[in-house]
């Protein structure tokens, strides 16, 4: 049966059995499918370093990976092909943002705490921190993966301890555009200071680090199934939990934290975050083609990489070997050299954008100016406009969170660089000025890639 046929089958069953609620057979089945998917290791994969900050100090709960003290032995066993089974539990939720929110709660984050978050990301990585009355502390990226800089992470932790007298309560690395972060180095830092890691793998569904699926290295891992993700439930997400005890806690918070009485009794504030049985039916059908979707995205990445190799001033972002080998290439990205001249560049930002750029963005608040103090270079905006006129949707990369107006008072730890001729900018700021996301989904064909590349070449001034 085709993917569409399976989706329709599961959705029809939900209606036929009157399971049109945020629980039911499809939700259970989808969670089982996800659990099998994230726990599967490729041959030769090393085992995760450890669950940072797990349960009580010095203990390893059932289902957890080994603590940092046992890391070398575990990795050696993995290298020898003697892999311990990877055990995780999964809770299907209404959104990836909900997964981050509940993951932070499960990490013990409360009002007044600090949480280290990768600055180069979408706001769903940081907004849930503020939901809890906590404060995000932003850490810049390393130039090769564009993800959290492990050295800067440690500098930030030590400085926060020196300034506040206590360590941040959690660390949130992000798999930007599907690119794996340096799991071993980040987990080593987290273990050193006893801080739990909540992996934001929303963009990295199926991406791997040394054969192991992202979201299974830290204490928790957040996934997203929004309409533009690797697989979709139209809207939805999931939280990967280290064991059954953590799963039980998250499940309680996801269902209004109702106690086991024949009437409603709430002893903690919970949330209505469970996934709909209808949406889960779509997800069960999507799971049957998840490997094919990932393979297709990687194929499209190979086409882009080969095509742009001969286009001066345009660079495909492949990442270092460990990341390129494991990335799902959810969105393929390029950078435009600042010296590259693009047609219409002199008129870039001449008009204020009045609609949503890049799909369903909700209600748009009219901007008062076409410019902000941190924006893509004029040639990047001109390229976006030119591609849009040719029927090609392209987007700027994420604007760093530490440059967002709502977070101007948040602490940030940045790495000045000389990338792309921007010596005074941090790594994430420099990439934001020159970066662009290209069409990458399962409906993009080889012919589409050829058309996109040729259109980009045609927009470059000789």
Q: Edge-to-edge, what's the strand order for the sheet holding 395-396?
A: 314-316, 332-336, 435-438, 395-396
Mean pLDDT by 10 residues, the chain (462 residues): 65 61 82 96 57 35 32 35 79 97 98 98 98 98 97 98 98 98 98 98 97 98 93 93 97 94 92 93 92 96 98 96 96 97 93 63 68 93 96 96 96 90 86 97 96 98 86
What local confidence, expressed as pLDDT, does residue 50 receive? 45
Check residue 176 and give its pLDDT.
98
Q: If we measure between CA atoms, which residue out of 15, 23, 29 comes closest to residue 285?
A: 29
**pLDDT value, residue 15:** 54
Instruction: Please state which CATH number belongs to domain 3-287.
Output: 3.40.640.10
CATH of domain 291-459: 3.90.1150.10
* pLDDT tens, residue by residue, 154-168: 999 999 999 999 999
Average pLDDT, the chain: 87
In 3D space, the residue among 337, 348, 345, 346 whose CA is nearest the CA of residue 421 turns out to be 337
Percent of the chain at pLDDT above 90?
Answer: 74
Query: Max alpha carbon distance in the chain (Å)?
Result: 75
- Please classify residue 343 by burial: count the beta carbons closer than 10 Å to its beta carbon, then call 0-12 exposed, 13-18 middle and 19+ buried: middle
Phi-psi sector, 277: left (phi>0), alpha (psi -120 to 50), beta: alpha
pLDDT at 37: 96
User: What pLDDT was estimated at residue 79?
Assistant: 39
pLDDT in tens, 316-348: 999 999 999 999 999 999 999 999 999 999 999
Q: Would you list the domain boundaries of the chain?
A: 3-287, 291-459
Q: Which residues contact 165 (CB under 8 A, 6 or more apart)?
A: none
Q: How far is CA 408 from CA 53, 136, 138, 446, in A?
A: 29, 11, 11, 42
Q: Write the pLDDT tens digit of every residue in 407-433.
A: 999 999 999 888 887 777 899 999 999
Identify the sign of the CA torsion 132, 146, 160, 406. Answer: negative
Contact 175, 122 (CB under 8 A): no
Q: Which pLDDT score, from 0 to 100, does residue 162 have?
A: 98
Burial of 23-34, coded b for 16+ CB within 10 Å and e otherwise, reads ebbbbebbbebb
């Amino acid at each position: 049966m085709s993917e569409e046929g399976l989706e329709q089958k599961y959705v029809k069953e939900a209606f036929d059995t009157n399971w049109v609620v945020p629980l039911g057979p499809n939700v259970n089945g989808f969670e089982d499918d996800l659990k099998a998917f994230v726990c599967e290791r490729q041959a030769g994969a090393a085992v995760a370093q450890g669950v940072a900050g797990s349960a009580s100090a010095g203990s390893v709960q059932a289902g957890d990976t080994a603590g940092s003290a046992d890391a070398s032995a575990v990795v050696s066993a993995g290298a020898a092909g003697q892999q311990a089974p990877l055990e995780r539990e999964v809770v299907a939720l209404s959104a990836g943002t909900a997964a981050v929110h509940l993951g932070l709660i499960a990490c013990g984050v409360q009002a007044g705490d600090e949480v280290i978050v990768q600055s180069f990301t979408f706001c769903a990585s940081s907004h849930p921190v503020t939901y809890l009355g906590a404060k995000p502390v932003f850490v810049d990226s390393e130039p090769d993966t564009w993800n959290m800089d492990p050295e800067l992470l440690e500098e930030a932790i030590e400085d926060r301890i020196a300034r506040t007298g206590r360590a941040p309560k959690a660390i949130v690395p992000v798999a930007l555009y599907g690119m794996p972060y340096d799991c071993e180095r980040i987990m080593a830092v987290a273990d050193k200071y006893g801080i739990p890691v909540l992996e934001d793998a929303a963009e990295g569904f199926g991406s791997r680090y040394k054969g192991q699926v992202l979201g299974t290295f830290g204490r928790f891992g957040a996934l997203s199934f929004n309409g533009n993700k690797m697989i979709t439930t139209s809207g939805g997400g999931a939280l990967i939990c280290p064991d059954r005890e953590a799963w039980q806690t998250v499940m309680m918070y996801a269902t209004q934290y109702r106690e086991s009485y024949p009437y409603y009794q709430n002893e903690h504030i919970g949330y209505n975050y469970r996934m709909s049985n209808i949406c889960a039916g779509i997800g069960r059908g999507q799971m049957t083609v998840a490997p094919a979707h990932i393979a297709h995205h990687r194929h499209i990445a190979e086409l882009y990489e080969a095509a742009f190799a001969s286009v001066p001033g345009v660079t495909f972002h492949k990442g270092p070997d460990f990341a390129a080998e494991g990335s799902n290439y959810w969105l393929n990205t390029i950078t435009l050299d600042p010296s590259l001249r693009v047609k219409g560049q002199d008129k870039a930002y001449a008009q204020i954008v009045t609609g949503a750029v890049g799909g369903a963005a909700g209600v748009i608040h009219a901007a008062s100016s076409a410019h902000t103090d941190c924006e893509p270079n004029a040639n990047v905006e001109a390229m976006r406009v030119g591609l849009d006129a040719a029927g090609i949707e392209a987007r700027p990369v994420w604007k760093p969170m530490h440059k967002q107006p709502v977070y101007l008072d948040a602490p940030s730890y940045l790495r000045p660089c000389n990338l792309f001729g921007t010596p005074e900018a941090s790594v994430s700021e420099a990439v934001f000025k020159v970066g662009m996301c290209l069409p990458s989904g399962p409906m993009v064909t080889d012919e589409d890639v050829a058309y996109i590349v040729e259109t980009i070449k045609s927009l470059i001034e000789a």
